[in-house]
Amino acid sequence: MKKSNVYTRTGDGGQTSLIGGSRVSKSSARLEAYGTVDELTSMLGLLTTCLDDDHDRETVESVQRALFHVSTLLATPPQADKPVQSLDTALVEQLEHEIDAITDAIPPFRCFIVPGGSRGAALAHVCRTVCRRAERRIIALAEEAPVDAVLLSYVNRLSDFLFVLARKVNFSQDIEEKRVF
Protein backbone atom coordinates (compact mmCIF):
# COMPACT_ATOMS: atom_id res chain seq x y z
CA MET A 1 0.00 0.00 0.00
CA LYS A 2 1.40 3.36 -1.03
CA LYS A 3 1.86 5.85 1.77
CA SER A 4 0.24 9.28 1.29
CA ASN A 5 2.65 12.12 1.96
CA VAL A 6 1.75 15.55 3.18
CA TYR A 7 4.77 16.93 1.39
CA THR A 8 5.12 16.83 -2.39
CA ARG A 9 8.31 18.87 -2.88
CA THR A 10 6.63 20.57 -5.87
CA GLY A 11 6.48 23.89 -4.01
CA ASP A 12 10.12 23.98 -2.95
CA GLY A 13 10.96 26.42 -5.73
CA GLY A 14 8.37 28.99 -4.63
CA GLN A 15 5.53 27.98 -6.93
CA THR A 16 2.30 26.10 -6.31
CA SER A 17 -0.54 24.65 -8.36
CA LEU A 18 -3.96 26.22 -8.65
CA ILE A 19 -7.17 24.34 -9.27
CA GLY A 20 -6.92 23.28 -12.89
CA GLY A 21 -3.17 22.67 -12.70
CA SER A 22 -1.63 26.02 -13.64
CA ARG A 23 1.36 27.03 -11.53
CA VAL A 24 1.89 30.42 -9.93
CA SER A 25 4.29 32.08 -7.54
CA LYS A 26 3.46 31.67 -3.88
CA SER A 27 3.66 35.46 -3.64
CA SER A 28 0.95 36.04 -6.28
CA ALA A 29 -2.14 38.07 -5.47
CA ARG A 30 -4.25 34.92 -5.85
CA LEU A 31 -2.19 33.03 -3.26
CA GLU A 32 -2.14 36.03 -0.92
CA ALA A 33 -5.95 36.17 -1.13
CA TYR A 34 -6.76 32.56 -0.43
CA GLY A 35 -3.85 32.17 1.98
CA THR A 36 -5.26 34.99 4.11
CA VAL A 37 -8.71 33.39 3.95
CA ASP A 38 -7.07 30.17 5.16
CA GLU A 39 -5.51 32.10 8.05
CA LEU A 40 -8.92 33.57 8.89
CA THR A 41 -10.53 30.12 8.83
CA SER A 42 -7.93 28.89 11.33
CA MET A 43 -8.37 31.93 13.55
CA LEU A 44 -12.12 31.34 13.54
CA GLY A 45 -11.47 27.79 14.73
CA LEU A 46 -9.60 29.25 17.67
CA LEU A 47 -12.46 31.70 18.27
CA THR A 48 -14.95 28.83 18.56
CA THR A 49 -13.03 27.53 21.57
CA CYS A 50 -13.84 30.79 23.40
CA LEU A 51 -17.55 30.99 22.59
CA ASP A 52 -19.99 29.85 25.26
CA ASP A 53 -23.13 30.33 23.18
CA ASP A 54 -23.94 27.26 21.04
CA HIS A 55 -25.64 29.35 18.36
CA ASP A 56 -22.62 31.65 18.02
CA ARG A 57 -20.27 28.67 17.83
CA GLU A 58 -22.44 26.99 15.17
CA THR A 59 -22.61 30.24 13.19
CA VAL A 60 -18.81 30.61 13.23
CA GLU A 61 -18.39 26.97 12.19
CA SER A 62 -20.83 27.59 9.32
CA VAL A 63 -18.69 30.58 8.31
CA GLN A 64 -15.61 28.36 8.31
CA ARG A 65 -17.33 25.97 5.88
CA ALA A 66 -18.36 28.89 3.64
CA LEU A 67 -14.77 30.14 3.67
CA PHE A 68 -13.63 26.82 2.19
CA HIS A 69 -15.89 27.62 -0.77
CA VAL A 70 -14.44 31.15 -0.87
CA SER A 71 -10.92 29.67 -0.94
CA THR A 72 -11.89 27.29 -3.74
CA LEU A 73 -13.23 30.21 -5.79
CA LEU A 74 -10.05 32.18 -5.16
CA ALA A 75 -7.82 29.20 -6.02
CA THR A 76 -9.56 28.68 -9.35
CA PRO A 77 -8.20 30.91 -12.12
CA PRO A 78 -10.61 32.14 -14.83
CA GLN A 79 -9.02 29.83 -17.41
CA ALA A 80 -9.69 26.64 -15.37
CA ASP A 81 -11.50 23.87 -17.25
CA LYS A 82 -14.18 23.43 -14.58
CA PRO A 83 -15.38 26.71 -13.08
CA VAL A 84 -16.55 26.65 -9.47
CA GLN A 85 -20.14 27.57 -8.66
CA SER A 86 -20.52 31.13 -7.39
CA LEU A 87 -21.07 31.77 -3.71
CA ASP A 88 -24.76 31.72 -2.80
CA THR A 89 -26.22 35.12 -1.93
CA ALA A 90 -28.12 33.37 0.88
CA LEU A 91 -24.80 33.22 2.77
CA VAL A 92 -24.58 37.03 2.74
CA GLU A 93 -28.21 37.25 3.84
CA GLN A 94 -27.54 34.82 6.71
CA LEU A 95 -24.70 37.01 7.96
CA GLU A 96 -26.90 40.09 7.68
CA HIS A 97 -29.60 38.31 9.70
CA GLU A 98 -27.05 37.43 12.40
CA ILE A 99 -25.73 41.00 12.46
CA ASP A 100 -29.26 42.39 12.83
CA ALA A 101 -30.17 39.91 15.59
CA ILE A 102 -27.03 40.71 17.58
CA THR A 103 -27.40 44.45 17.04
CA ASP A 104 -30.96 44.30 18.37
CA ALA A 105 -29.77 42.44 21.50
CA ILE A 106 -26.91 44.71 22.58
CA PRO A 107 -26.60 48.41 23.45
CA PRO A 108 -26.20 50.77 20.49
CA PHE A 109 -22.75 51.54 19.15
CA ARG A 110 -21.95 55.21 19.68
CA CYS A 111 -18.18 55.60 19.42
CA PHE A 112 -14.94 53.82 18.61
CA ILE A 113 -14.28 50.78 20.76
CA VAL A 114 -10.86 49.59 21.86
CA PRO A 115 -10.65 45.88 20.94
CA GLY A 116 -10.52 43.68 24.01
CA GLY A 117 -12.58 42.79 27.02
CA SER A 118 -13.02 39.06 27.35
CA ARG A 119 -10.73 36.57 25.63
CA GLY A 120 -13.50 35.63 23.20
CA ALA A 121 -14.27 39.24 22.30
CA ALA A 122 -10.60 40.07 21.86
CA LEU A 123 -10.19 37.06 19.58
CA ALA A 124 -13.29 38.03 17.58
CA HIS A 125 -11.63 41.43 17.02
CA VAL A 126 -8.43 39.71 15.85
CA CYS A 127 -10.52 37.62 13.45
CA ARG A 128 -12.20 40.83 12.25
CA THR A 129 -8.83 42.41 11.41
CA VAL A 130 -7.64 39.26 9.61
CA CYS A 131 -10.93 39.32 7.70
CA ARG A 132 -10.32 42.94 6.68
CA ARG A 133 -6.84 41.99 5.49
CA ALA A 134 -8.32 39.09 3.50
CA GLU A 135 -10.76 41.54 1.94
CA ARG A 136 -7.88 43.84 0.93
CA ARG A 137 -6.01 40.86 -0.59
CA ILE A 138 -9.13 39.79 -2.50
CA ILE A 139 -9.61 43.32 -3.84
CA ALA A 140 -5.97 43.34 -4.96
CA LEU A 141 -6.66 40.10 -6.84
CA ALA A 142 -9.84 41.62 -8.33
CA GLU A 143 -7.67 44.34 -9.85
CA GLU A 144 -5.88 41.60 -11.83
CA ALA A 145 -8.57 39.00 -12.48
CA PRO A 146 -12.33 38.51 -12.12
CA VAL A 147 -13.54 37.79 -8.57
CA ASP A 148 -17.03 36.67 -7.64
CA ALA A 149 -19.04 39.72 -6.51
CA VAL A 150 -20.97 37.74 -3.90
CA LEU A 151 -17.66 36.58 -2.44
CA LEU A 152 -16.63 40.23 -1.97
CA SER A 153 -19.92 41.04 -0.26
CA TYR A 154 -19.63 37.98 1.99
CA VAL A 155 -16.15 38.84 3.23
CA ASN A 156 -17.18 42.46 3.80
CA ARG A 157 -20.24 41.38 5.79
CA LEU A 158 -18.18 38.85 7.72
CA SER A 159 -15.98 41.54 9.24
CA ASP A 160 -19.14 43.39 10.34
CA PHE A 161 -20.46 40.18 11.90
CA LEU A 162 -17.21 39.64 13.79
CA PHE A 163 -17.39 43.20 15.14
CA VAL A 164 -20.89 42.77 16.54
CA LEU A 165 -20.05 39.26 17.78
CA ALA A 166 -17.17 40.72 19.81
CA ARG A 167 -19.56 43.26 21.29
CA LYS A 168 -22.11 40.53 22.06
CA VAL A 169 -19.53 38.36 23.80
CA ASN A 170 -18.49 41.24 26.07
CA PHE A 171 -22.12 42.21 26.70
CA SER A 172 -23.13 38.64 27.59
CA GLN A 173 -20.25 38.45 30.07
CA ASP A 174 -21.15 41.86 31.51
CA ILE A 175 -17.78 43.31 30.45
CA GLU A 176 -17.89 47.01 29.71
CA GLU A 177 -16.34 48.01 26.40
CA LYS A 178 -13.44 50.41 26.47
CA ARG A 179 -14.24 53.43 24.36
CA VAL A 180 -11.66 55.59 22.60
CA PHE A 181 -13.39 58.88 23.43
Where exactly are the structural domains of the chain? 25-77+84-179
The per-residue DSSP string of 115-164 comes to: S-SSHHHHHHHHHHHHHHHHHHHHHHHHTTS---HHHHHHHHHHHHHHHH
Q: Using an 8 Å Cβ cutoff, are 82 and 20 in contact?
A: yes
Residue-wise pLDDT tens digits, 130-151: 999 999 999 999 999 999 999 9
pLDDT single digits (tens) 59-109: 999 999 999 999 999 998 877 777 788 899 999 999 999 999 999 999 998
What CATH number labels 25-77+84-179?
1.20.1200.10
pTM above 0.85, yes or no: yes
